[in-house]
Amino acid sequence: MISIIGRRASFSGGVHPPQSKHLTADKQIQPGPAVKELAVFLSQHIGAAAQPIVKKGDAVQAGQKIGQCQGFICAPVHAPVAGKVKDIALRSHPVLGRSPAVVIEAESASEPVLPAFSMPQGFDPAKYTPEQTCEAVREAGIVGMGGAGFPTSVKIQPDAKVPKHTLIINGCECEPYITCDYRLMLEWTEQIIAGTRLAQRACGASNVFIAIEDNKPKAIEKMNATLEAMGLAGSITVVPVKTKYPQGGERQLIRAVLNKVVPTGGIPPAIGVVVDNVATAAAIADAVIYGRPLTHRVVTVTGEGIANPGNYYVPLGIAVEALIGHCGGISGQTAKVIMGGPMMGIAIADLSTPISKASGAVTVLTKEQVSAAGLDRRQTPCIRCGRCVQACPEHLNPTRIAHAVKNNLMDVAESYYISACIECGCCSYACPAKIDLTGYIRTGKILRARQKKKMPG
């Protein structure tokens, strides 16, 4: 089921960008800088924004809920530090533009303390009912920490119609440069496994896999050894998957690990599969066992434009510039600051942009890299070479969709299944003409959404 002998689990399509993980792969997770002010977004997830329940001038405790759920697909937010609510104001959000955030002035500017997780004596996931776990996960505001930010409680709760039979913990980290998940797998191994077992118990899955790209042999080894030591080697399987981008995309990962296909337009639970990131699993353990809300995360600060790249444990809401400053600042040759990695990350212009639950990295690229990528050159005509078609992990025809959008032919774009695009960026990466295919497709999706709103029914 997992893979044919001698063939590594993988999917068709995809690209092989340079890994560039050497910059931070061996850097242990360190506490981030001490900051005076945090801006905690009310919307750090897919779904409805949280409703603020504090007001300007209120004193807040560390871990206190400051934004509550409104709606089913939503997640609350919490204050990472004790302090005072300075304001509820708009801040630059990488995806949503200007978005409301609770600005907290910390009581004392002190470095965050790395959480000490120790497996409780006689830890048994059976002691926690699925309802209990889902409620704890929901209350802790846990969302997918791999980038998408989908509320985890919605994902892991049991579904009577389509029972969840398989849980895949995603430790692929296929995005170049980023190493936060890798470090977590090495340093917080037990916590990840505890979270995995709780998630398994909650969703009722009988098969559990931890998928790790085979460019991380140490993580695979550590995970296997820890499972062995915990006596879980039989119930949780570590699956080394081929190093290829976007191996960590959940649709691709399900194809690689289970050889199953998620229907176009559907989500993994539709076929009874749940995919959670390793950082999410760790957060689940924290929330269920210790009742700690999600207020901090590990962020990789990396790229050739950073003096001292590394992996840092930081409070949510810390500004990118504070992080960058902590890492020795950026070089004068910096051309791009990216929230996330270079393949799917979002370039930001405002360095006061706060870190949110789904941002695993800040990547700083220099002029040299942007120029090596040919991005400072003119786009040349499409020569219809089909490299984008071959690279597309969803088997679409990116150039046809992109050119349809360019010419405002939305029906043509739809006939080539624009909505099935996962925006992984493989087509743009592979294009010899340097056409911004993914950019056009994303634009097309936005246009399409607007059109639909205008014309109901």
Q: Which is nearer to another protein, 230 or 335 (CB)?
A: 335
Contact status: 338 vs another protein (CB under 8 A)? yes
Site for another protein in 236-295 (CB under 8 A): 251, 255, 261-266
CA–CA gap between residue 152 and residue 131 (Å, rounded): 13
DSSP-derived 3-state class of residue 233: coil
Q: Which is nearer to another protein, 297 or 336 (CB)?
A: 336
Q: Which is nearer to another protein, 7 or 378 (CB)?
A: 378
> CA nearest 54: which of 92, 7, 99, 86?
86
Q: Which is nearer to another protein, 272 or 393 (CB)?
A: 393
CA–CA gap between residue 451 and residue 270 (Å, rounded): 28
Site for another protein in 396-415 (CB under 8 A): 396-397, 399, 414-415
Contact status: 328 vs another protein (CB under 8 A)? no
Contact status: 420 vs another protein (CB under 8 A)? yes
Min dist CB 41 to another protein, Å, is 19
Residue 36 carries which DSSP code? S
Q: Which is nearer to another protein, 262 or 274 (CB)?
A: 262
Contact status: 18 vs another protein (CB under 8 A)? yes
Cβ proximity of 176 and 274 under 8 Å: no
Min dist CB 14 to another protein, Å, is 12
Cβ proximity of 223 and 189 under 8 Å: yes
Site for another protein in 362-401 (CB under 8 A): 363, 365, 369-370, 372-375, 378, 380-386, 389-390, 392-397, 399
Contact status: 314 vs another protein (CB under 8 A)? no
Contact status: 425 vs another protein (CB under 8 A)? yes
Build a one-symbol-per-residue string for 117-136: x at contacts with another protein by CB under 8 A, - elsewhere: --------------------
CA–CA gap between residue 172 and residue 255 (Å, rounded): 14
The DSSP annotation for 145-171 comes to: TTTT--BHHHHHS--SSS---EEEEEE
Contact status: 200 vs another protein (CB under 8 A)? no
Select from 14, 17, 67, 76 the one that contacts another protein (CB under 8 A): 17
Contact status: 343 vs another protein (CB under 8 A)? yes
What is the distance of C-alpha 370 from the center of its chain?
Answer: 24
Contact status: 334 vs another protein (CB under 8 A)? yes
Contact status: 432 vs another protein (CB under 8 A)? yes
Instruction: Tell me which amino acid residue 113 is.
Output: V
> Binding-site residue total for another protein (CB under 8 A)?
72
CA dihedral 131, 118, 182, 169 (to 10 degrees): -20
CB atoms within 10 A of CB 236: 21
In sequence order, what are the beta bridge partners of 319?
A: 354
- Stretch binding another protein (CB under 8 A), from 44-52, 101-109, 235-243, 347-355: 347-355
Q: Which is nearer to another protein, 251 or 297 (CB)?
A: 251
Min dist CB 344 to another protein, Å, is 5
Select from 190, 436, 445, 447 the one that contacts another protein (CB under 8 A): 436
Min dist CB 26 to another protein, Å, is 22
- Between the CA of residue 139 and those of 62, 100, 150, 233, 381, what are the distances in Å? 15, 21, 14, 31, 51
Q: Which is nearer to another protein, 58 or 423 (CB)?
A: 423
Instruction: Tell me which amino acid residue 305 is.
Output: G
Cβ proximity of 105 and 36 under 8 Å: yes
Q: Are strands 83-93 and 59-60 parallel, antiparallel or unpaired?
A: antiparallel
Min dist CB 242 to another protein, Å, is 17
- Between the CA of residue 214 and those of 239, 247, 406, what are the distances in Å? 9, 11, 39
Cβ proximity of 269 and 164 under 8 Å: yes
Q: What does residue 318 show for φ and ψ, rounded to 5 degrees?
A: -70, 140
Min dist CB 213 to another protein, Å, is 18
Site for another protein in 167-186 (CB under 8 A): 176
Min dist CB 417 to another protein, Å, is 5
Contact status: 160 vs another protein (CB under 8 A)? no
Assigned token pair, 278: 């390793």
CA–CA gap between residue 368 and residue 366 (Å, rounded): 5
